[in-house]
Chains A and B, each alone.
Chain A
Amino acid sequence: MLVQNLRGDTGQRLRGNIRIEKVVKDVTFIIIEDDEVDAMQLRRVFRQLEVSGKKVFAKDGAEGLELLRGHNGREKVKKPFIILLDLNMPRMGGLEFLDELRTDTELRNSIVFVLTTSNDRNDRTLAYEKHVSGYIVKTDPNEGIINAVSMIDSYRQIVSFP
């Protein structure tokens, strides 16, 4: 199915015969996800959709902050970047991370997309209250992931970053 999708509509590729100006803008993707396989899946999809830009991975919210701030020996991620955030993580979960993010003067205007299995209304509300750019639910047959990543890539290309 995945193969079929690649050949079929992938939004970005086929839009009839209209050529789209490809804006070369290097945006870093920071993926904060604790599940190894889910992270792997994202890598695959990025590869398949040929999404450009550096991809940095963190295992939980704390590690994510270290990356953003350049603490603990990590190299600080430069702007512009998009954060793909999971919610259910050990040590520091997604919502906690968002709290930290939005109180940090330097980081508060970061663009965050939540990618989570949680369909909890409460989680959703809280996430949007913490000004996420989008809340995406990972369903079990996860063809949706491809659409989601595709959408994020389009976003990256079209939207002006703070």
Chain B
Amino acid sequence: MATGVSRNNKLWGVVRTCVIIGILVIAPLFGLMSAPPALAQEVAGKLANSPQAVEAGRQLYFERCSFCHGLEGAGDGPVAETLDPRPRDFTSCIYKFRITESGELPTDEDLLRTISVGVHGTGMPFWDNSRVKTGLTTEQRWQVIHFIKTFCPDFEDAEFDPYKRIVVDAAVQAPEQTATLLAAGKKAYEEAKCHECHGVAGRGNGTSAPTLKDDWGYPLLPRDLTKGWRYKRGSRVEDIYITMTTGLNGAAMPTYRDTLSDEARWQLAHYVKTLQRERILETLLVAKQVEGDLPTAPDDPRWPEMANVIDVPLSGQVLARPRLQTPSADNLRLSALYNATHLALLIEWHDRFQDVEHQAPPAEPYDMQFTYPHLYDEQRPRPARYTLGEPPQVQYRDAVAVQFPVQLGDGPQKPHFFQGDTSNPVYVWYWHSDGDKVEEQNGRGFDRPLTVQPEANQQTRSQATWQDGRWRVVLWRPLTTPDNDDLQIAAGRNIPLAFSVWDGYNGEVGLQRSLSTWIFLQLEASPSSSLYMWAVVAIGLGIVAEFWAAGRARRKHSHAER
């Protein structure tokens, strides 16, 4: 450019720059294009009942449903004996999820909803094929429904027509939540005696809990209302309201339509919704450093005030016999704090019953005979969960185990999360409820027993409380110990951690338990002072560099102007 930048060019330059910046800002919005497709919400045109539909339904039912629900629809397929809750017995005409009066049949749309969405927390999956290709199309779902209805002759009887007994709109909308509404709901919870089954804090540990049965005589446990993801119908306020209005046929949850007004049921539904707790499903927990002593009591207020919290989801131990796919605990909450000398962990999980009695388990558990336990097998020794009114035949304590590797490697390699393996041992803090005692153990794989460290090498301590359906256990240990079999704990590194939980009431002992995979704990290290020095050096170098560049630029431009 022979002359300087003209005014017009400068303006045009600014405009161009704004346009470029604008495009750079809008481009990320195209990320919306890659969002997953919305769930199919509408019910497509209903397929009319016809012999062809029933026959198509029979073929689909055989291929997709009969292994659980049975060839005759009696809920007695071969898979059923391993499931809790058991698959629906269609010949009984009893259905849980309806918009009809308590004790009545469901509408066809109720059946479509249940099949499409599934039943959360049970073995019934969702069949909506807009979410997964191997589901059923809407037409196929209608065909299966028409076939399933043939298992119950009442569907043909005009006297039992469910469409004449609808008591709630499936698409009902909840009123807005207000503070007065919630306060009224809390009061209603007490007056309607919900706590008798669901417990005061909603953890499913009410006084009636051990005695509840369904219409087939199988024991039922009241829902833990804090776990929204386990509500069978769904966790929205509307779902709760509909459940309260219609009751769950065949189960212990009654209808409250006659005892509570519509307004009261909405208040109660809103209140119950607030009992649900959001989970923090991070895989890394940062333990903060504390001055002075660590809190060792579970209800020390310093835990919620100072410590970070994560939730660790637990699955049943389904890796090796004897397996368990019906565990009691499906979530564990973890907090951690450390000081100059010790690390403390606070572990919480929900357990309806406090089990402190313990008997030695048999060397060969009965459930070793099958890939999965046959829960109601006559020969199977019954824990309290399955006694069906009789005294339990086995009694085990509650327990939790915190598992670490013995050594921290440099790479990602770790011991296997299921008690390690032969080349990579694990180090376990095993706490059990009888005696509120924690033992340090080492393991080299699930197929051999853990070795307990000698008494002189036990440095870990515990303090535990069980209250209103929840265990809270604090475990603490010095960061470094003189034992080679212990993990030495230091700040600034990712420490793998895995958990196991046993609920004695459910017959959980040995390999039959809930467990988690590896998550990570990091003791927050304060940055060293040398880091700040390096930052100052970097700033200085930056200043030097930019002054040099500015000098060069000025020379170049004054040269160009001449």
**Does B associate with A?**
no
Taking Cβ atoms with an 8 Å cutoff, the residues of B that contact A are: none
